[in-house]
Structure 1
């Protein structure tokens, strides 16, 4: 019998990929995870559950904890340890979002006003710290030093990635290699850890840990590449954040790196002024979007995303056919199709 080879489509199919198969697959487990999240975000200080609940209940897909649960299904794990660890993954992610919105000065998150806009920067940072602490409590309670090492290491890498991005902001000379290092750290590291810990709690061989890590990491890179592309081709209703946020914050994402490299001398002067904060009006953003389309920077960014998406799918090769594996493949297809 030959194994089924999954390939990402070069263009959107009539039936768009969806996260629904994964949502359905892990629905029962996710109820247990949500119960842990709800319980552990409580505090005698009313502001903490109020602010945390605003973001946690804000319509996010819970993709990272779902990846932990789906990975566990794919390798046949039948225990319950992964419920608390999936909650820890979500707390790490939520804490980083609270901190990111403060750093970026964002006004929208998933189509709603950001916590920092409502309660202020200080409260957002401190509640983010509280959620980080809760995540580490959950890791310690699990009792596995290996799990603790994976998730704590991912937390440190995320912080490094955010600092790297901060120091790279408004630098027109940012090389593509450093950009990829930033998104590998700030996005892909948690995707990878979320998947890998499932193999640890299931006591699976190292090669399966590595395979799930590669799946998550490549999916995370693809996911972030698409996010960076849709900042120039979508709107707040679709993205859940203001279109052009990356542009106005002077972020050198791959679409900008490619458009700058391919543009005329006049175009490069525009990009330099924009990245350094001297061109930030709505008209400037519209011009930036035009330059990005003209240089096919979006097309090539999405092509890179499909490349990493295919690598994610290929990483699932060691695992046998199952509903979980099918859902994980479709999650990749969903991630790279969001810009269409």
Structure 2
């Protein structure tokens, strides 16, 4: 994604300045805790998507920059809340904030970042963009609650799981791209196309993340591999391997996923079963399909340097498994 980063460099420098300025607070723990997480985000993928969508749609002004900063704050707030809910130990390769400052501070700083996001959205002066990102915030919360209520469900369907990640992950990708297009004054058709691109890109990213939890390492993931398994989180590779092993491994899955009564050897056994049944391969094939759909959504944008850069981003989404 080097081409995209080069194209967006001046805009992203301005977005980074906005983020730093709006993290400030007279309460010292707020900027310290926020910076701990935000500083670990090297590429700022979701705000980058807002900027790139705006430029692809013909934006010549800086209206998209405050929206991009707002998108990063929404994302960071959800991560802070997620890590408390999941008791995560690592985030972006760093010790999770709640282990340093405590769960109450992490939750409240997440709330602060949500508030800052809405201040930035109002400052951008686009009511349609405000509506898009406000709706996304609500949908993300719904997705998180749905996932929480179905976290250890051994009979969760692939359809419901895709609904969960469409809400909790892909919605912000979709809204980031759509808000950028709206800020550029793009036609409804182009706004819908960029929303589709963002949603399919987000689905591809999440599915690859699901697979990497069983095949990656800490450096690739920015968190401990196997966290999803240890938490009993029913992601797609796990759902597929449980379905494909059937009754022969039912007691194993009840013990390890439902009751979370696990040994170190259980994770290795699960990875071997995924290899044998093709569960990881099927997850990655589905991710590749969404990446291809994301690229296809850009077909009508014609000759524009931002288009191949965004197409490359879709390829990067699935190339992380290499």
TM-score band, normalised by the shorter chain? over 0.9
**Equivalent of 1:90 in 72, 82, 89:** 72
Say which structure, 1 or 2, has more relative contact order (CA 8 Å, 6+ apart).
Answer: 1
Superposed CA RMSD: 1.0
- Are residues 1:331 and 2:317 paired? no
Aligned length: 322
Other-structure match for 1:249: 231
The C-alpha deviation readout for 1:315-340, integer Å capped at 9, x for no partner, is 00110122211110000000011112
Deviation at 1:110?
1.2
Deviation at 1:142?
1.7
Other-structure match for 2:176: 194
Matches within 5 A, 1:292-311: 292-311=274-293
Other-structure match for 1:58: 40
CA distance, structure 2, for counterparts of residue 163 and residue 96 of structure 1:
12
In the alignment, is the contact (CA less than 8 A) between 1:70 and 1:324 conserved in 2?
Answer: yes
The C-alpha deviation readout for 1:242-280, integer Å capped at 9, x for no partner, is 110000111111101111111042322212221113432
CA 1:75 to 1:48, structure 2 compared with 1: closer, same or farther past 3 Å?
same
More helix by share: 2
SS of 1:318's equivalent in the other structure is helix
CA distance, structure 2, for counterparts of residue 195 and residue 280 of structure 1:
41
CA distance, structure 1, for counterparts of residue 56 and residue 296 of structure 2:
15
Matches within 5 A, 1:98-113: 98-113=80-95
Unaligned runs of 5+ in 1: 1-18
**Equivalent of 1:268 in 250, 262, 277:** 250
TM-score by length of 1: 0.93
CA distance, structure 1, for counterparts of residue 20 and residue 123 of structure 2:
17
Other-structure match for 1:181: 163
Runs of 4+ in 1 over 6 A off after TM superposition: none
The C-alpha deviation readout for 1:144-164, integer Å capped at 9, x for no partner, is 221111000000000000001
**Equivalent of 1:143 in 118, 122, 125:** 125
In the alignment, is the contact (CA less than 8 A) between 1:65 and 1:90 conserved in 2?
Answer: yes
- Are residues 1:39 and 2:25 paired? no
In the alignment, is the contact (CA less than 8 A) between 1:248 and 1:277 conserved in 2?
Answer: no
Matches within 5 A, 1:218-233: 218-233=200-215
Other-structure match for 1:203: 185
- Are residues 1:162 and 2:144 paired? yes
The C-alpha deviation readout for 1:289-326, integer Å capped at 9, x for no partner, is 11111100000000000111111000001101222111
